[in-house]
Amino acid sequence: MEYPSQLLTHAVDEFAKLPGVGRKTALRLVLHLLRQEPARALQLGESLIRLRNEVKYCKVCHNISDSDTCSICSNPQRDASTLCVVENVKEVMVIEATRQFGGLYHVLGGLISPMDGIGPQQLQIDSLVERIRQSRDPQNPQPMLNPPIREVILALSTTMEGDTTNFYIFRKLAEFADLKITTLARGVAVGDEIEYADEITLGKSILNRTLFTDSFAKNGK
């Protein structure tokens, strides 16, 4: 389809580069913006430019942040001896939304994926090792602010890339004695019917069954 204006074509082209947005949807969104008051399109445009120009990443955990250290890392109430390793910023948000985790995070920025040309060097794995090493260093200058990390929770997706990354990190962390390395419990989701659970998940949830009284207590309700 031909567009009557270069400006329109350009805006549609840019929108259509977003994932899941085809040219038809892009055109619909652009024409919608043109029908709205001008401020709407300007605000969207400016918010994207500001986000991209001014976004910061926490220098400790690599989460998106408005300052050099994110609000989670700089919160003294949180248990700095437990680290949850996640793939991306999104996972920090969903785990925070559960309100069940009081430790800190470490955002890898992706998963090892040779198919996509992503190796361990592109991810924040070296900085994870360094972060743990510094916290456990006897010369640690701030043992109160930065206590020794005792547990690392690997909270990556159960995909091939997630498993590969899990194993890579597991081996990298072998140098630290007494470091507890855990992973998320796999089991039947809350609300799921047993009848429809897949075999592997159901098998794991039987092997890793928990005491009924424990499951009740941990429910937090």
Q: How many residues bind a second copy (CB under 8 A)?
A: 60
Per CB under 8 A, does 116 bind a second copy?
no
Per CB under 8 A, does 15 bind a second copy?
yes
**Four-point Cα dihedral 24, 28, 34, 37, nearest 10:** -150
Q: Give the HSE-up count for residue 96: Cα atoms under 13 Å, Cβ half-sphere.
A: 13
Q: Helix 6-16 to helix 23-35 angle, to the nearest 10 degrees?
A: 120
Tell which one of 88, 122, 140, 164 touches a second copy (CB under 8 A).
88
Per CB under 8 A, does 5 bind a second copy?
yes
Per CB under 8 A, does 218 bind a second copy?
no
User: In 6-39, which positions are buried (b, 16+ CB within 10 angstroms) versus exposed (e)?
Assistant: eeeeebbeebbeeeeeeeeebbebbeebeeeeee
Residue 59's closest CA among 78, 80, 77, 73? Answer: 73
Query: Minimum Å distance from CB 120 to a second copy?
Result: 18
51 or 206: whose CB is closer to a second copy? 51
Tell which one of 22, 23, 31, 217 touches a second copy (CB under 8 A).
31
Inter-residue contact 175 to 136 (CB < 8 Å)? no
Per CB under 8 A, does 50 bind a second copy?
yes
Q: Check residue 113 and report its DSSP letter.
A: B
29 or 202: whose CB is closer to a second copy? 29
Q: Where along the sequence are the contacts to a second copy (CB under 8 A)?
A: 1-8, 10-11, 13-15, 17-21, 25, 27-34, 38, 40-56, 63-66, 70-72, 88-90, 92-94, 96-97
